[in-house]
Structure 1
């Protein structure tokens, strides 16, 4: 069993999301793109396995801002019509904000039993099973009357009345079958549960006296059977009796027992000390964790996070009568070293493969959790939108990405300014030049990619369609005018700029630019002992035939006096200018 599709409308910054899912889903995206909101939205139709609560009420800030803006714009445009009671109720109902999360299931064999009532539609005679969480205004007419009464008193401005014009107490939530609106029974939802591991894990066992994690306290509490709790209560009573015997503290209170006043006991009954049994959570919260012979709070932050994740994931009990257990993990890489990231990624893979009843959703900024052989698991989140590589790319394109060596996928997609080049020489040359510009800041990322720029541009444009990010492409002249035309047609996009070299390689391009030849001749004679480089052509040929270390040494020397005024080749200069200013030359 797995959730195969997810639709989200108007939840926080997620206006309209419709994505296909695998049993492992990895959300990647920039900060504030909506990854955490996606993880939270996934859990809304289901029960929390940690505390068993099904309270799914949302708040004002959980409703999408664009949806609220459309609603308030409607009110502003129709103030008098609303006051006069002439607003069309159906038209008003269509503009009222709501939050919706719809999950579609793909049952496996006998798992169909758990979802057989949730038929949403028939697709090629194959049933589609879905449930929907909806947070909405139950009675639009009552809301309209409420708004009408407010506007009769205050018509000048609605800017300071927004929370009164859309009061949260008018909202309710329901978990239902989308096509029929029939509510899902509690006993049906009980077969679908989730566990969430949020990014805020830094306080785990940070307190030297307590466990330090509410999640772990709840975990321990839920692992205790009724029989276990009875044993704890008896043990607490035994501890209290022994405490009284050791301290003889009751003698302090019962002074009348040994008083010289003969009738003291006639006035005072025996004072007894009774155990004040703390709540189970209070008892568990005073447990102190250790790691080996040391307390856990003395370990490093990263190691505490690693232990926390392993303990919580290992605690998942996936019973045979559970239809689906959902696990969401936010930024599992937080504070972890590379080796520990690798170990955690390996454990997650093992965990998923151990049970067909577990589905894992991860949000991350680390490529360690991206399996190049399973890029169909990746969902890209950008500016409140999301799409899965599984549905957006063909198998050949996924294979193409998988074969790219050392391609930093996240860096390419989400850098604010990125330039793709064809080889390592161009990469280190541009990086060295940018580093030598010590009088200005830049945020340009340079990535070497051998071939296939058009496919990469298509993916980048999908992610950065409405963003202010920019992509530059520097490709080699290969005497293939059709390929050059296919690449340079992307210059029609305002945030993409493609240029092509005039020479076959970088070295003669540098030599032939401006007055570079004279400076380069002097540099190579002085620092490399080169002779017979009396023409630009002879210098270019000697440089092309030199070892790779020569280009590396040249790049390291950029910025020294002899190379301080070296000009960039035009195709590179134009791209860098575009990335920094947005202007194409």
Structure 2
């Protein structure tokens, strides 16, 4: 029997959450998204006794009405014969638990509200909850002792616990007989025709399991397990769960909360293998925020939680997996220097074209919010190209992760259309000749040759036209992203195209914001050098940092500063110092930079 779905309402941070479960389910997400609350809700629903204190501690703060109740619904599949009379014809069993503010509890198993049927359920479906800290000195062995005791009591055949009790009773009687013989004679004289016997009514062999500890034997030296490192303790105990689970009869749900605590990344891989093995015989539900652990599992096993509108919301990955395989997703994400699951751990992912954007936006956020990007669970990814920004944001959108895209101005026009500065007829001649020479050598039967020919022909058309061709919005990186995410209607995309071509910021910026996009008026470097005051600040700071040895010549001053800023992408500390100076001197007042930050970080 397996818990296949849970629905939780009005429980702590969860307003209404439906979560499908599998043999192995991994709950992940940013801090305070409700991972632990899912575990607590399942445990509370199957807790034999619940009081008013439990309700007061766990009922949501978002609803305060007197009739508000905690609602936890568990759906079981492959119902066992002992519960078949309560299940649906397809073997599905529905259990609903409602806890009211006054402390009263309503339980319904199938169509039955009888307490005996609830007890039948919890006797046949048991939960082993393993808390985050598996330090033996902090009670880390208690769930293992409980499970071991249950396994021992269920043992049948020769050597079972009840058999051992009988053997112990016979042994004690035999050994005690000589000791009690004298007392028996005395009792017989006082009470008449009486004997003295041992009383075994209070002896419980089961309690021995509650006193079990563990030790490690190295060659001829024995060491108690609680004397080794905490990380090793955690690893050993979780391996024991795997071994016990493989021999345990009955339905078990193992709940591991943050099993990566104390563990080295290499050890985490071994623990992940244990979870996979354990899920072959019993159901496993675990929560984690470790990218090392998450990256071990297929995306289909992950359940990401995120906080939205002050309540926990479940974001399914079904749409993502329908388009991309786990292998493809790993490959794509690694091209960005990421593991596939890293975005799942973030509150917000911002995808930018280059490393300069990442450094500048991160530093300004820290200066203005007084908190780092990492501390805010925000991930800024440098895609190194406008088309890659569009591709990665599409994946994030399918993951249902909060995202923003940051583009340079040229991303709103198709790369198939070249753009030239005004040139004389004499200057155009060598370019035309070179383009014709390249065209004659292209293999247009192949896709790459055909695309190159398309670009070169567009170049020649523009060179031979008196007026430069207008930018083509169709097939641009921005349009591709808008189509794949469907955040704008066809009419809105048409209005956006017109606004971009006319550079009407009041038209295109609200539409881009709705589409989770920001487009610089030119590029980020141009924004940092947007006026003469900014140029003076940047020039002085670059000289101070040793990036420039002297002021550049007036004729090419701006281009020199622009190139230096662009080249500092690999020197984030120096670039951050430039941003600090611009912010300190209030250089971003009434600028596109401020609008950008408000768009990205509302």
| TM value normalised by structure 1 | 0.63
Q: Within 5 A, what are the aligned runs for 1:247-258?
A: none
SS at match of 1:336: coil
SS at match of 1:335: coil
Q: Distance in 2 between matches of 1:362 and 1:575?
A: 39
SS at match of 1:365: coil
Match of 2:380 among 447, 454, 457: 447
Q: Judging changes above 3 Å, is the alpha-carbon distance between structure 1 residues 113 and 425 closer, same or farther for their aligned structure 2 residues? A: farther
Deviation at 1:315, TM superposition (A): 0.9
Deviation at 1:134, TM superposition (A): 2.4
Q: Judging changes above 3 Å, is the alpha-carbon distance between structure 1 residues 188 and 514 closer, same or farther for their aligned structure 2 residues? A: farther
Q: Judging changes above 3 Å, is the alpha-carbon distance between structure 1 residues 99 and 545 closer, same or farther for their aligned structure 2 residues? A: closer
Q: Within 5 A, what are the aligned runs for 1:527-538?
A: 527-528=546-547, 533-534=552-553, 535-538=556-559
Match of 1:375 among 282, 285, 299: 299
2:29 aligned partner: 29
State yes or no: 1:176 paired with 2:110: yes
State yes or no: 1:361 paired with 2:285: yes
Q: Distance in 1 between matches of 2:324 and 2:229?
A: 42
SS at match of 2:246: coil
Does the Cα contact within 8 Å between 1:22 and 1:377 map onto a contact in 2?
yes
Deviation at 1:404, TM superposition (A): 1.9
Match of 2:359 among 414, 428, 442: 428
Query: Deviations 1:263-305 (Å, cap 9, x if unpaired)?
Result: 9x99999999988965335433433322343222223333322
Larger displacement relative to structure 2 (488-497 or 299-308): 488-497
Q: Judging changes above 3 Å, is the alpha-carbon distance between structure 1 residues 132 and 431 closer, same or farther for their aligned structure 2 residues? A: same
Q: Distance in 2 between matches of 1:553 and 1:566?
A: 20
Does the Cα contact within 8 Å between 1:44 and 1:133 map onto a contact in 2?
no
Deviation at 1:368, TM superposition (A): 2.8
Does the Cα contact within 8 Å between 1:101 and 1:134 map onto a contact in 2?
yes
2:519 aligned partner: 500
SS at match of 2:128: strand
Q: Distance in 1 between matches of 2:242 and 2:82?
A: 24
Q: Judging changes above 3 Å, is the alpha-carbon distance between structure 1 residues 36 and 274 closer, same or farther for their aligned structure 2 residues? A: same
Deviation at 1:188, TM superposition (A): 8.5
1:286 aligned partner: 211
SS at match of 2:245: coil
Q: Distance in 2 between matches of 1:387 and 1:522?
A: 50
Gaps of 5+ in 2: 384-388, 414-472, 488-495, 497-507
Deviation at 1:360, TM superposition (A): 2.1
Q: Within 5 A, what are the aligned runs for 1:451-462?
A: 451-452=389-390, 454-455=393-394, 458=397
Deviation at 1:480, TM superposition (A): 1.8
1:303 aligned partner: 232
Match of 2:258 among 312, 318, 331: 331
Q: Distance in 2 between matches of 1:167 and 1:360?
A: 31
SS at match of 1:515: helix
SS at match of 1:478: helix
Aligned residues: 482
Deviation at 1:99, TM superposition (A): 3.1
Q: Distance in 2 between matches of 1:56 and 1:280?
A: 25
Deviation at 1:228, TM superposition (A): 4.0
Larger displacement relative to structure 2 (372-381 or 413-422): 413-422
2:71 aligned partner: 99
Q: Distance in 2 between matches of 1:379 and 1:280?
A: 42
Q: Distance in 2 between matches of 1:40 and 1:421?
A: 39
Q: Over aligned residues, Cα RMSD in angstroms?
A: 5.4
Deviation at 1:116, TM superposition (A): 7.3
Does the Cα contact within 8 Å between 1:102 and 1:130 map onto a contact in 2?
no
Does the Cα contact within 8 Å between 1:473 and 1:575 map onto a contact in 2?
no
Q: Distance in 2 between matches of 1:429 and 1:67?
A: 38
Gaps of 5+ in 1: 46-53, 73-95, 121-126, 138-161, 258-262, 465-470
State yes or no: 1:193 paired with 2:155: no
